[in-house]
């Protein structure tokens, strides 16, 4: 007589068990779905660095970005908002390519990890006229350490460039161009990230003939009425050019230097503020660089106050003493004698 009630209780227990099992499976599926959903970084919301790094899709080595690819339109789902990026990477990383007023959009391209040491993020920065691919390095504690541009778009059909990383985490910048006669020239620069937190140039290969470089001084034609305006030189490839500023207390300066037989170059153009009668300092919001110039009637002494890595190569600084060039006076023309 107890068989019926016992069977009924057993069925109720089985039903409750199945119901709880279904609830558990549903919860697991929801949890997995949440983990699989990628966080959007296109807004202004605060983002954790782990989510920022994970936003970049994982890539396999060797990894290459060509100029033709960097110029293509990317999916909006890969967009990284400027406020989000600025919370992890300084704005000065992009000012050399886009200027202080440039407002590029940013896109996540790929991510590579070096055996729990460094993580390399490949990023695209783009305006309507210019697209640049960067590599950014984060250490094992997810702190930004360094970055550099590796590829740029090109509108020329006769030139081609790529940025790549091989299985040994060596970054190569490759450029090719074809002359009118059909001859192809190439140049390859190879870099590695070092323990000092910077990229080191380890190899340069090229089949181009080295031509003497003529420095193009973009401020050469500006006024030079200020006491210390003029050109200060060490040789043909090392120049500090000073011109009148747009108002009192400012001077416009263009600096170009080449050291170590051309292996290390630097260039800077901008307004310097006169902090004393003989001292001018470059320091601007959004640029970590700071350079001081100390003038005498015959020379100028240059000193790098804060890191100017965005304006020079790694193994050299803005420093040294430059001698003022004498300006040739125009020849006086004697009036012709009257006949």
Residue 6 pLDDT level (bands cut at 50, 70, 90): very low
CA distance 187 to 279: 41
pLDDT tens digits for range 217-234: 999 999 999 999 999 999
| 191-206 confidence digits (pLDDT tens) | 999 877 889 899 889 8
Rounding to the nearest 10 degrees, give the CA dihedral for residues 310, 314, 318, 323. -130
Residue 36 has pLDDT above 50, yes or no: no
Give the global pTM: 0.55
pLDDT at res. 39: 65
- Least confident window among 288-292, 296-300, 309-313: 309-313
Mean residue pLDDT across the chain: 85
pLDDT category at 38 given cuts 50, 70, 90 is: low
- Cα 213 to Cα 183, 232, 238, distances in angstroms: 22, 18, 11
Task: Compute the distance between CA of residue 266 and CA of residue 276 in angstroms, rounded to an integer.
Answer: 26
Over its C-alpha atoms, the chain yields an Rg (Å, rounded) of 30
What is the structure's pLDDT at 197?
84
Per the CB < 8 A criterion, the answer to whether 307 and 215 are in contact is: no
């Amino acid at each position: 007589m107890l068989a019926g009630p016992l069977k009924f209780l057993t069925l109720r227990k089985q039903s409750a068990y199945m119901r709880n099992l279904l609830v558990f499976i549903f919860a697991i599926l929801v949890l997995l779905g949440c983990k699989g959903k990628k966080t959007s970084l296109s807004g202004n919301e605060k983002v954790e660095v782990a989510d920022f790094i994970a936003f970049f899709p994982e890539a396999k080595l060797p990894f290459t970005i060509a100029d033709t690819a960097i110029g293509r339109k990317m999916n909006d789902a890969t967009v990284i908002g400027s406020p989000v990026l600025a919370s992890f990477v300084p704005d000065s990383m992009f000012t050399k390519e886009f200027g202080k007023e440039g407002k590029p959009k940013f896109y996540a391209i790929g991510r590579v990890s070096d055996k729990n040491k460094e993580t390399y993020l490949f990023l695209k920065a783009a305006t309507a006229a210019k697209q640049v691919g960067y590599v950014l390095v984060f250490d094992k504690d997810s702190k930004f350490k360094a970055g550099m541009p590796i590829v740029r778009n090109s509108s020329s059909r006769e030139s081609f460039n790529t940025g790549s990383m091989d299985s040994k985490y060596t970054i190569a910048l490759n450029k090719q161009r074809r002359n009118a006669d059909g001859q192809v020239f190439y140049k390859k620069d190879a870099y590695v990230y070092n323990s000092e937190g910077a990229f080191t140039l380890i190899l340069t290969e090229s089949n181009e003939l080295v031509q003497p470089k003529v420095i193009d001084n973009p401020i050469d034609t500006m006024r030079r009425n200020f006491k210390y305006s003029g050109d200060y030189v060490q040789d043909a490839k090392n120049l500090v050019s000073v011109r009148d500023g747009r108002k009192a207390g400012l001077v416009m300066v263009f600096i170009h230097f080449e050291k170590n037989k051309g292996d290390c170059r630097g260039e800077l153009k901008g307004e310097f503020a006169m902090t004393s009668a003989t001292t001018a300092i470059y320091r601007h919001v959004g640029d970590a660089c700071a350079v001081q110039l100390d003038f005498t009637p015959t020379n100028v002494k240059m000193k790098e106050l804060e890191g100017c890595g965005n304006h020079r190569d790694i193994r050299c600084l803005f420093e040294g003493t430059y001698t003022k060039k004498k300006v040739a006076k125009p020849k006086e023309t004697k009036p012709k004698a009257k006949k």
